[in-house]
Structure formats: structure tokens, C-alpha cells
């Protein structure tokens, strides 16, 4: 128990000791305003987040996979980030994996005690048959959770890149990582409830990290999400707007070109800008690893 006494995320703040007596507007105001601490914590970690993005993109260009690891709230945040990459950036789902303590059941409900099983973390990670090209993103608010430590230990054995995100500095999850991202958010309004600003800070950091990785991998042209999967009415309309923004084409021309390209925005942009048919546009893109800016040069 002594290890938890030193964790700022577990500290009981006297500032909020009468929380349950406050009127609801004041209670909500405090809960909302305390979230600003999450933004500041991530701002202080911009350097290591950028380093993680650069190092991860290098591995992923060689065919590696992103493997998120965590327990409880941290594990679910990793799952969410992983799940959003395929539709947003056409990142292959088989290259976006998750190790969560307690397995998939833990995404919907707590699996008590699962986070304390270091060997389960090691076992779950090794089940993915990892290689040195893979990238592990391990998350733990406390930084002491055994499950992600097990994942990191196994990742080190195979030479995978280890990125650790925790809300307490100099903790095992960070020490086991090659790139340590400390998000020092301090005590929570509700003591120990790290689903509050600690979780918010992790979500912001994950948003920034995975988005930066995808930009570095050519999944974005300018600030346009050109590698999305247009799988519903909203996204079909977005694909048209993106194509128009990138080419200056009319709505009719953009729609027609997208239909001819199988609703692949990158292909449609190259077709319109270079006057190519779908096959030729895809060939140009394949030679530059799908980077639209390079394809247009």
C-alpha cells in the first residue's frame, strides 16, 4: 500500500472535502474547470509525444503494428483510439490491436483483479506474435499497474518500440518504456477517480499521438482527412467536400471522379489534379506509399 501513498492521482485533496454539500451548478463548474489541468499536463508533455510519433512512424513504415495496452479506463481509452484509426485513416484493423486486462469483456464491464496480473499482460501481448517493427502504447494512470508492465516487459524482449503514458512520474510503466510520456494531472476532484482529468489527459495525448503518426505516414494532405473510409451518407458527403477542397473541382466532377475511384479520396484527387484514370492514379500513389503531396509533384 505504501507505493500508492506517493501517487498524486491517489491523493485526497482537502480542497474538495465538502464536495457532496455543494449545490449542483457549483459542483458541475468545479468538475468541468478541473479538466483544464488535463490540457496543461499534456502541454508539458509535447516533447515526448512528438518523439513518440516520430519513432513510431518509422517502425510502422516497415510494416509494424500499433498495440495498445492497459487496464480499466486506460485500457478502454486505448481500445477507443485503436478502433477509430481504421475508419478515420484507413489504417488496417489487423495493424491496430489492443491488450486489455480481462479481455474484451473488460471493455464493457470491470473485471476485478485482472489489472494485477503481470503474466497475463505478457501472455496477451505474445499471443499477437509481436516483432521488432511493432509499437506498444502502454497506459496506466497510476503508472504502477502490473498488466501493462507485463506487456512492456514482453515488448522489450522482442525489440518492439515501447511508449508509456502515465499520470505519475518516475513510475514502473514509464521506466519500462523507451519513450516516457508523463501526464502529471495531480489529485482528482473525486479522490482517486482517474476517469476524470487523468483519463482526459490520456485521451488528449492519444488523440495527438496517433493523429501525428498518421500525418507522418501520409494519411493527411494539408489538413484534409484524405484516407477516410466513406461508409455512410455523412462520410460520402465529407469525401466530396474533401475532394473539392483539394482540387477546386465542381461538386458534379468530384462525385463522378469519386465514383470512378471507388470512393477513394486520395485516388480521386490525383485523378483530377493530374488528369489520370483510376488505375494510373493508384499506380502513382503506390510508388510514394500513398502520399498525395508527393504523388502530385
The residues that are catalytic are 84, 115
Q: Is 1 helix (H, G, I), strand (E, B) or coil?
A: coil
Which set of grid coordinates corresponds to residue 38?
Answer: 488535463
> Distance (Å, rounded) from C-alpha 193 to C-alpha 286?
47
How crowded is residue 159: how many other Cβ atoms within 10 Å of its Cβ?
13
Which set of grid coordinates corresponds to residue 88?
Answer: 478515420
19 and 190 in contact (C-beta within 8 Å)? yes
Percentages (nearest 5) of helix, strand, coil residues in the chain: 60, 10, 35
Dihedral, 168, 136, 287, 274 alpha carbons, nearest 10 = -40
Dihedral of CA 249/255/259/260: which sign? negative
The C-alpha angle 236, 287, 243, rounded to 5 degrees, equals 25
CA nearest to 205, candidates 114, 78, 118 = 78
Q: Is 288 helix (H, G, I), strand (E, B) or coil?
A: coil
> Distance (Å, rounded) from C-alpha 186 to C-alpha 264?
45
Phi, psi of 97 (to 5 degrees): -115, 165
> Distance (Å, rounded) from C-alpha 6 to C-alpha 232?
49
Gyration radius from the chain CA atoms: 22
- CA–CA distance from 276 to each of 82, 172, 244, 263, 289 (Å)? 34, 54, 17, 15, 18
Amino acid at each position: 500500500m505504501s507505493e500508492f501513498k506517493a501517487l498524486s492521482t491517489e491523493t485526497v485533496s482537502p480542497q474538495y472535502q465538502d464536495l457532496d454539500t455543494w449545490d449542483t451548478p457549483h459542483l458541475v463548474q468545479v468538475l468541468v474547470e478541473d479538466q483544464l489541468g488535463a490540457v496543461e499536463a499534456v502541454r508539458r508533455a509535447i516533447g515526448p509525444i512528438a518523439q513518440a510519433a516520430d519513432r513510431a512512424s518509422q517502425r510502422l513504415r516497415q510494416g509494424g503494428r500499433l498495440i495498445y495496452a492497459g487496464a480499466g479506463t486506460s485500457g478502454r481509452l486505448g481500445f477507443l483510439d485503436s478502433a477509430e484509426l481504421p475508419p478515420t485513416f484507413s489504417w488496417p484493423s489487423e495493424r491496430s490491436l489492443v491488450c486489455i486486462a480481462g479481455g474484451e469483456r473488460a471493455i464493457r464491464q470491470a473485471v476485478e483483479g485482472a489489472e494485477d496480473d503481470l503474466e497475463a499482460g505478457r501472455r496477451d501481448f505474445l499471443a499477437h506474435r509481436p516483432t521488432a517493427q511493432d509499437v506498444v502504447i502502454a497506459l496506466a494512470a497510476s503508472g504502477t499497474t502490473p498488466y501493462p508492465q507485463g506487456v512492456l516487459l514482453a515488448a522489450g524482449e522482442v525489440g518492439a518500440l515501447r511508449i508509456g503514458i502515465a499520470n505519475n512520474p518516475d513510475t514502473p510503466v514509464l521506466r519500462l518504456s523507451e519513450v516516457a510520456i508523463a501526464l502529471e494531472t495531480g489529485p482528482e476532484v473525486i479522490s482517486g477517480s482517474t476517469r476524470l482529468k487523468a483519463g482526459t489527459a490520456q485521451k488528449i495525448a492519444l488523440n495527438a499521438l496517433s493523429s501525428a503518426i498518421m500525418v507522418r505516414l501520409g494519411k493527411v494532405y494539408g489538413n484534409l482527412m484524405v484516407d477516410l473510409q466513406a461508409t455512410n451518407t455523412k462520410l460520402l458527403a465529407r469525401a466530396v467536400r474533401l475532394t473539392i477542397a483539394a482540387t477546386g473541382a465542381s461538386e458534379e466532377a468530384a462525385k463522378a471522379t469519386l465514383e470512378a475511384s471507388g470512393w477513394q479520396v486520395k485516388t480521386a484527387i490525383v485523378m483530377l489534379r493530374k488528369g489520370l484514370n483510376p488505375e494510373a492514379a493508384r499506380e502513382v500513389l503506390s510508388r510514394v506509399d500513398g502520399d498525395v503531396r508527393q504523388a502530385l509533384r
